[in-house]
Structure 1
Amino acid sequence: MKRKYFKKIFILLIIVIIGIYIIPAPKTNFSELYPINDNYSKSLKRFQAKSTKEITINGVKWIYYAGGNGSKTILFIHGMGGAYDLWWQQIIEFEKSYKVISYTLPEEINSLQKTSKGILKILETEKIDKFYVVGTSMGGYIAQYLVSTIPNRIEKAVFGNTFPPNNLIAEENKTKSKLLPFLPEIVISKLGEKTLDKKIIPAAKNSKLLRAFLPSISFSKKQFINRYNIIIDKFTMNSTKYAIKRIPKLIIESDNDPLIQPQLRQQLKKLYKNSNVYTFHNEGHFPYINASKEYNEVLWRFFNTENTFTAVEKTIENYFEGRKDANLKQLQLAFSKKANLYTSQNNNILIIPIENYYKKVRLDGVQQANTSILNGDITGNIACFKTKFEYPKNPILII
């Protein structure tokens, strides 16, 4: 009898365990959690009622939103627990003047490379070449990867409440990450709720909007694990490379962010030394939601600021083209009347007064040359750039 009794108990336990594993994470409704019919609620409902687009990439379905009619495009990239509508307050604001794109990362995607392929396919479908990128948390990490891999396509970059390539996150979560595959989805969901209630919401001044919106985003165990794999997927960022350095960057942070360690915030600013930095005070990890007006103002100012590297490059382009075409008028647009040219030849430094240089241009006439900018720095009103002239029949000149 006892053996039969224990057998029944054992079978019952197995059924309970299986039941726990197959129970999906609970889904909540924003309207039920946020019954207030204010502008936040109305704007979210209007935005979610808009049509999204679908595209299948290597058998994986991507859902994204594309709107606005501006000449410039902003790509918004959500964080680890987000979706395309996480950015609704920014999209509504900026699609008045820009084309905007926001996607939901499919739960099957588990690496930076796969993420990038999906993004590039969406951009190709929408016929977009160059763009601004705004990423938050995991999205800010993805934005950095895009800056590293396709810098020539990115005009401006915003890294919000995020972290640089690092070992810290993987090291601190080594044990947890090994346990994750064995935890039921409902348990992972409950742990997320605990973090929400104990850390995220208090840091955001107990925002009711944030408390209602975040749980309304769909969640799955597979999604959580694969997105964690993305944030620990390391890549090399050479921030001193000219193609990367010339991209205007804005780092947005919060002084009480409960999800980004202060050490990582400092590492991020150290990595991108020439970036602008804006620090929110006591707004937590999601300032674009609970402090959206201020967040939007910060983005507007950044987007409307001239890229000083572009201005210098226009001057250098006058130099390149003026020299190749022997066009003195165009060359004079690049130099002051008292300028000197410094160049190297046979490991020797040559100093050439500008008038002597003009005389040589007149004498030599039109020249075939491959020109490029090797590097450059701008400090205040002072710009220091190194350029390269490669003549087919003459030595290479670096100036």
Structure 2
Amino acid sequence: MDMHKNNINHIVNSFFQRVPEHQSRLFRNFIESNPKKSIEAAGKVFQYTSCGIGTQTVVLLSGAMVSSYMWFHVAQLLQKEYRLLIPELPKTGMGADEAIILINSILKLEKIDKAIIAGYSYGGAIAQYFAALHPEKVDCLVLSHTGLIWDDDKVQKIEKALRIIKWIPGFMFKLAKYIRTKGCKASEWYLFRKAFFNWSFSTIVKKDIIQMLENSKVFQQNIEQSKVEPYQWKGNTVIMGTKSDRDTFKYFDELCKHYKNCSSYVFDLPEAGHHTIFLYPKEYTQKFKELIVSKYTKSK
């Protein structure tokens, strides 16, 4: 426990000094109260957070290259009514089949037969694949700020990105991170978002970006080789997006068409973009809870 607390102190003191005190305190309290568990899956050791006291379980799958603590605001609101399982996904990504093994391993260890499976961005891709493969284990599918995983040209797009990135100087990645986190100063959580990304990317170098793309290629190849029927999941679905999200909002309407039994919601918040969960955590969390309560209650 002392090592756990020392690690938290290092994170907060090193990266969150300029964050408003009440925000860093909320973040620190959540981490301190919920030390991660370890699990072996697919021949590797992973970590995950298990918290909450409800009878219904929610699995929260994170975006690419950021800590699973991106869900801390959502988890704080839900943990009094739901049991939450939040895997720490590798920052350089993983194969789709490996991700499924990890989720199944956590559910088995925690003795959970069925859960709400929620994914943000990259996590939404994993959630879609899991629901297609294991519909019997899904109460409701929640897709937030994510795209389409069944795409005939996706492997070619990744290979093209790999060719380009191998020629980009390493300092450009720091510049890209700066650009991604400089906007939306109107949000009271602007400094927190900036600190969170500085922490998440503090150990990321060019070879990690390349490895992430290599793993993305494996991810897509796993999906294609599985021969699973695209959008096979026909159960209750929640789809969330933000108008100003240039990364994934272009897929929003198509996702809604594929998942016909869905409730959808579009955030129209100033400069929220792809980082709505970071910049407007209260609004995001309230809508997240409202939608899963509504959708899950209707299915019972």
Same fold (TM over 0.5): yes
Q: What runs of 5+ residues in structure 1 fail to find an aligned partner?
A: 1-27, 312-399
Instruction: Determine if contact 1:253/1:278 at 8 Å carries over to the other structure.
Output: yes
Distance 2:59 2:218 in 1: 19
Instruction: Determine if contact 2:68/2:87 at 8 Å carries over to the other structure.
Output: yes
In structure 2, the residue matched to 1:41 is 24
In structure 2, the residue matched to 1:59 is 43
In structure 1, the residue matched to 2:159 is 174
The two structures have a TM-score, normalised by structure 1, of: 0.62
2:105 corresponds to which of 121, 128, 131: 121
1:285 corresponds to which of 262, 274, 296: 274
Secondary structure of 2:60's aligned partner: strand
Which structure has more RCO (C-alpha within 8 Å, separation ≥ 6)? 2
Deviation at 1:71, TM superposition (A): 0.3
CA deviation string 1:212-264 (max 9, x = no partner): 1112015443453355336644445543x5xx21x2111111111132262x3
Secondary structure of 1:304's aligned partner: helix
CA deviation string 1:72-96 (max 9, x = no partner): 0010000111222111111111111
CA deviation string 1:38-84 (max 9, x = no partner): 33211111122231111122331101110111100010000111222
Q: How does 1:60-209 map to 2 (within 5 A)?
A: 60-106=44-90, 110-165=94-149, 166-167=151-152, 169-178=154-163, 180=165, 182=166, 187=170, 190-202=171-183, 207-209=190-192
- Give the AA of the match of 1:260: T
- Does the C-alpha gap of structure 1 residues 168 and 273 become closer, same or farther in structure 2, counting only changes over 3 Å? farther
Distance 1:160 1:306 in 2: 15
Distance 2:186 2:13 in 1: 21
Distance 1:204 1:277 in 2: 27
In structure 2, the residue matched to 1:391 is none
Farther-moved stretch of structure 1 (64-73 vs 251-260): 251-260
Instruction: Determine if contact 1:254/1:285 at 8 Å carries over to the other structure.
Output: yes
Secondary structure of 1:296's aligned partner: helix
- Give the AA of the match of 1:253: G
Seq. identity, %: 20
Instruction: Determine if contact 2:39/2:46 at 8 Å carries over to the other structure.
Output: yes
- Give the AA of the match of 1:137: S
- Does the C-alpha gap of structure 1 residues 159 and 237 become closer, same or farther in structure 2, counting only changes over 3 Å? farther
Distance 1:136 1:304 in 2: 18
- Give the AA of the match of 1:176: A
Distance 1:196 1:162 in 2: 20
Instruction: Determine if contact 1:69/1:99 at 8 Å carries over to the other structure.
Output: yes
| 2:256 equivalent to 1:272 | no
2:243 corresponds to which of 255, 258, 275: 255
Instruction: Determine if contact 2:242/2:267 at 8 Å carries over to the other structure.
Output: yes
Distance 2:297 2:15 in 1: 46
In structure 2, the residue matched to 1:216 is 199
Deviation at 1:162, TM superposition (A): 0.4
- Give the AA of the match of 1:274: N
Distance 1:202 1:209 in 2: 13
In structure 1, the residue matched to 2:5 is none
- Give the AA of the match of 2:282: K
Instruction: Determine if contact 1:163/1:260 at 8 Å carries over to the other structure.
Output: yes
- Does the C-alpha gap of structure 1 residues 200 and 252 become closer, same or farther in structure 2, counting only changes over 3 Å? farther
Secondary structure of 2:193's aligned partner: helix
CA deviation string 1:248-305 (max 9, x = no partner): 111111111132262x333222222331111112311121221111111112212222
CA RMSD between the two structures = 2.8
When the two structures are aligned, how many residues end up with a matched partner?
Answer: 275
Q: What runs of 5+ residues in structure 2 fail to find an aligned partner?
A: 1-9
Richer in helix (by share) = 2
Instruction: Determine if contact 2:65/2:92 at 8 Å carries over to the other structure.
Output: no
In structure 2, the residue matched to 1:295 is 284
The two structures have a TM-score, normalised by structure 2, of: 0.80
Structure (1 or 2) with the larger CA radius of gyration: 1
- Does the C-alpha gap of structure 1 residues 290 and 31 become closer, same or farther in structure 2, counting only changes over 3 Å? farther
Instruction: Determine if contact 1:250/1:276 at 8 Å carries over to the other structure.
Output: yes
Secondary structure of 1:120's aligned partner: helix
